[in-house]
Amino acid sequence: MKAREVNFDGLVGPTHNYSGLAVGNLASQRSIHSVSNPKAAAKQGLRKMKILHDLGVPQGVLPPHDRPAVDVLRQLGFMGRDEDVLRSARLHDPKLLAACCSASSMWAANAATVCPSADSADRKVHFTPANLRSNFHRAIEAPTTARVLKALFNDSERFVHHVPLPAAEMFGDEGAANHTRFCSGYGEPGVQLFVYGRSALDRNTGVPARHPARQTLEASRAVARLHGLDSARVVFAQQSPPAIDAGVFHNDVITVSNQNVFIFHEHALVHQDEVKREIGSKTGSQLHLIEVAATDISLLDSVSTYLFNSQLVTLPTGKMALIVPQECKDSMPVWAYLQKLVEDYDVLERIEVVEVRQSMENGGGPACLRLRIVLTDDEIRSINRSTLFDNDLFERLSAWVDQHYRDQLHEADLSDPLLLEESRAALDELTQLLDLGSIYSFQR
């Protein structure tokens, strides 16, 4: 069946800031207390979407979440009017306030794990929002993520929406950032790779020494069951503990794939040779396994440039393009390697450089900003088409950002009642622009 991969990018929210909330995310820690530019961040994200659209790659949009999350602060004991809640949180627990102001939903790769209809037992597209229990500022995203996905994919004949996994230590789930799919064509049955950092039950699996392993094997297995996957077409692999300690907090910081191409670092996975053999045997088709040697690109350079957090996409020509952040071009060894990659592999047609520095400084490259969803033509026709990207939507969203976003945001501004008013006004208008209905708590 004819199908396409649609990249649904998360719009950067008006409260984009650098509070250093994510342990193990080296870029986030380096940028802590820096002054952010929400307007520039949102514009950079929109320009990346425009580049993908102009290349002929289907593109969609996911809205930001409602921040500051005043309802969450009230749940945690801060009382009074909205401005009183913000002021009190700033005075008594500024780190908690920062967590409730995070614009981290922009990294849509963590929003959910999605299974295309070609792979599921009931031939429907399955969505499981990630519980993101490893970090509080992300864990509070799950309810809104579920409402957003249901608003976009609201045809029960074609789409199945599961609730997030229990937010317990055993079922830590980070979404599609630790999941990928191999196939000969998007509409053909695929092989799904789930990468986990640790097992909650098997204490014999190695764990990192410095940084937390966020995804559990138990969570990955649960998602595979929920989506009705054939075990003969599923691979579970453990992320390398030394890689996690080097700053590889998600698998998409050390591997990148699309259809039958898999680019991965030498130190990406535990028992990597065995994993390669299993993937190869289960795909049963020609698979381009491109292993990047540490002598060519070190773990340090991989993390600092986010080489593997690039987007590998199929162009209308059938060849592929690698969408890399500007930081890759700024690194001599990485850029030289990328030029050689294009020379050596005919399937790779071009390297496209994008500027997403505001996101990169908080630990998210091009791939972090998107949730990729494989859809048939019939499924595409059934979704909320107001969220599909085109030149008109680009212009309207750009004007929306210009009207509502600040070009500077300090941590001290997070308790400003005007920021809350500005954010809600922006999101209220956005839900109308994208025909989403009342998805935010302040609208209900």
Residue 421 annotated in active site: no
- d(C-alpha 244, C-alpha 177), whole Å: 14
- Catalytic-residue membership of 274: no
* Tokens matching residue 34: 């820096």
Query: From CA 208, how far away is CA 229, in angstroms rounded?
Result: 29
CA dist 180 and 256 (Å) reads: 8
Q: What is the SS3 assignment for 190?
A: coil
List the catalytic residue out of 368, 404, 411, 422: 368
Angle at 434 between CA 414 and CA 35, to 5 degrees: 25
267 is annotated as an active-site residue: no
How far apart CA 91 and CA 333 sit, in angstroms, is: 46
99 three-state secondary structure:
helix
66-85 b/e (C-beta count within 10 Å ≥ 16 → b): bbbbbbbbeeeebeeebeeb
Backbone φ and ψ of 19, nearest 5°: -105, 0
What residues contact 263, with CB distance under 8 A and at least 6 apart? 255, 256, 257, 290, 292, 308, 312, 341
Give catalytic residues, as residue numbers. 174, 250, 368
